[in-house]
Chains A and B, each alone.
Chain A
Amino acid sequence: MTAPSLYAPREPIFPKRVTGFFRRMKWWILVVTLGIYYLTPWIRWDRGPNLPDQAVLIDMAHRRFYFFWIEIWPHEFYFVAGLLIMAGLGLFLFTSALGRVWCGYTCPQTVWTDLFILVERWIEGDRNARVKLHHAKWSIRKWRLRFTKWTVWLLISIATGGAWVFYFTDAPTLLRDLHNFSAHPIAYGTIACLTATTFVFGGFMREQVCIYMCPWPRIQAAMMDPDTITVAYREWRGEPRGKQRVEGTGDCIDCMACVNVCPMGIDIRDGQQMECITCALCIDACDDIMDKIGKPRGLIDYLALSDEPAERAGAAPKPLLKHILRPRTILYTVMWSAIGLGLLYALFVRSDIDLTVSPIRNPTYVMQSDGSIRNIYDVRIRNKLGVERRVHVGLTSEATLRIDIQEDDRTLEILIPADTTVLHRVYVTARPEDPAASLAQTELRLWIEDRETGARASRPTSFNGKVVK
């Protein structure tokens, strides 16, 4: 016996056209999500003369992230981290409540594959025509169809890769530069790379990406339990499958409609499978057949596996809400909301002027010739407005301390250009007779104030004296 091959070629899948509630919903989601992706960079948002007018912009060169009225600086990256954590928890919540809805409806791999299959069907026809074409010898017609399909795919891919780069710089300018061949090579490289991945993943890899490349199908098992609502086959109603006319058969007439529409190439009647992305197309397909043969819908349906014993016994399943509301989903919701509220709070209390203070601790203090003790602080002041501002620097403390700014003529005022950070050295001095000069530590607070707008901010820090033993 020869050893069997350890490597399997991909089995081509020819999903059949399907109509129904879920298919309609998926089309809407496709239009909305792709619309958001392609159009967002073109939305304009007026921020004044010194700042970009693109509503959503990740400005790497200037270290800024703009999102409509929100501007995020690098030190506020916790907003992004918080949003990522919320995205993670949201994914946990949806998976534990509704299974792999992310995979089935909104994952880019699913959405673009859907779009690519749509193009494929327009050009090459529905399932049967495509199967035939696949097995046909290469002819002028086959070449023509294939070439047309690949061209449309490629155009979609270029648009996909192209849209991505617009998020990182001014979109109209970049579009013009791209056409002039004067854009940065990184822009072309990124477009080329994303075009290639879109073309290959959407056109040829499809379900292989989900099954072999994506970690989520493996992780989801930890999020799901028998109460999770997921796409399943009511085997107790459908089996034994067979012709309707035959006595004793279930509702499943083994028409293979559910298998033919499946983009993952599986048979949902085999039960829960890692490959299933719960796109619900088999539900539409089966409901259609049930209508035709005059049986109730829902042979394949969204259902919780924990309802199986009740349904087998002919009882009604638990209401949907009882499945969804359980400690795990409530916990995820609470965590998700807590982080969301925290971020919102942080967003609204954020000031348009801000400072950080790092006390210089090398040395901890400087002895002046008159015996007074000086501490040095590196003070970074951020002006988050699009206009130049003058801020006054001061301190409050229970001790008597003097404040100076390096190379300043006692005005204690600092000019900060629009939308920038400046670093200044600030000296705080205690006269020898003041207690702070000989105390190990004295608390103080450094303040900045824009006297025109009244905006102010402060940071606590401490003053080190020379302790005489």
Chain B
Amino acid sequence: MTDKKVDEETGVETTGHTWDGIEELNNPLPRWWLWTLYATIIWAIGYTIAYPAWPMLKGATTGFLGYSTRAEVSEDIANHNAKNSALVAELNAAKLSEIDPNGDLHRYAVARGGSVFRAQCSQCHGSGAAGAKGYPNLLDDDWLWGGSMDAISASVKHGIRNETDDDARYSEMPAYDELLEDDQIKAVVEYVVSLSSAEFDQTLADSGSVVFAEQCSACHGETGLGDREQGAPNLKDAIWLYGGDRETLEDTVRNARFGVMPAWGQRLSDEDVRAVSVYVHGLGGGE
């Protein structure tokens, strides 16, 4: 057929289509471009056969190559664990307080402990370990049950005031609401304020000191320095777990506090407990 229609203006062949006198020019695409399109279609079909793709009633086709991202991740994790197995064994055998702070084992324990902390501990102690009201700040140098590597590791492993671990740290402050008169409570609160603050009522505090000596000194110590054996807080320092204002202190004295922490030894592997202990010890307050 030689009846090619050519647009006079441009000299380009037309497709023969005309709309309102406007002719459609035919500037053809290169043929290889079409082949490339077909090639990608064939590739796509092959790909869906080789790799997981088609959704079925139950799951999707697995593909001839048997590839799955999940399997790859599992394999990566397994490889990772295998690579770290020597360090894990070393961590489990080491005496925590004697780990060289500049060594590989310490670096590994801190890295592993950090991820355990973010997953398991941050809900109460905060992702930055700064704690919250009732949940101790782990960055400072004040410790209820001790800040040595062994003390921290025991707290993590057995927990505090829980009912699942017989070795959990335990102590209980009485609720003095029923045990003391209102003015005695006010007085002892004033005395506690006087231990760490310069602004207090001297006469009230003096009468409070008598109540303190009778009721509180057994646990908090005669001078209010606390007792780590019983998890009794130091009342002379600048740090308050629940708050150091008179109102909060009165609430604490009347109703007592009973902070609980799970026994992580029952939930985590030994190496995780050890790693997170090293991590917490290294946060700034470790002793």
Contacts and interface: CB of A to CB of B under 8 A. Distances in A.
Interface of A: 1-10, 205, 208, 212, 360, 362-363, 366-371, 374, 376, 406-407, 415, 425, 427, 432
Nearest to A364: B130
B13 A1 contact: no
Interface stretch (B69-77, B135-143, B173-181): B135-143
Contacts of A363: 126, 128, 130, 137, 139
Nearest to B33: A212
A8 B106 CA distance: 68
Contacts of A415: 102
A394 B182 CA distance: 54
Contact of A427 (B1, B32, B284): B284
Given A362-B126, A367-B239, A4 B284 contact: no
A432 B127 CA distance: 26
Contacts of A366: 130, 137, 139-140, 284
B30 A2 contact: no
B42 interface: no
Contacts of B14: 4
A374 B284 contact: yes
Contacts of A6: 15, 26, 28-29
Nearest to A362: B128
B4 interface: yes
B131 to A, nearest CB: 9
Interface residues of B, number: 34
Contacts of A406: 282, 284
B29 A407 contact: no
Contacts, number: 89
Given A363-B130, A369-B140, A406-B282, A212 B238 contact: no
A408 to B, nearest CB: 8
Contact of A10 (B31, B142, B239): B31
A369 B195 CA distance: 13
- In this complex, which of A360, A366, A370, A376 has the most chain B Cβ atoms within 10 angstroms of its Cβ? A366
B155 interface: no
Contacts of B238: 367-371, 432
Given A7-B34, A374-B140, A407-B101, 11 more contacts: A4-B15, A6-B26, A6-B29, A7-B30, A7-B33, A8-B28, A208-B32, A362-B126, A363-B130, A407-B282, A432-B238
Contact of A376 (B32, B126, B139): B139
Contacts of A432: 238
A374 B32 CA distance: 69
Contacts of B102: 407, 415
Nearest to B234: A369
B16 interface: yes
B128 A360 contact: yes
Contacts of A3: 15-16
B3 interface: yes
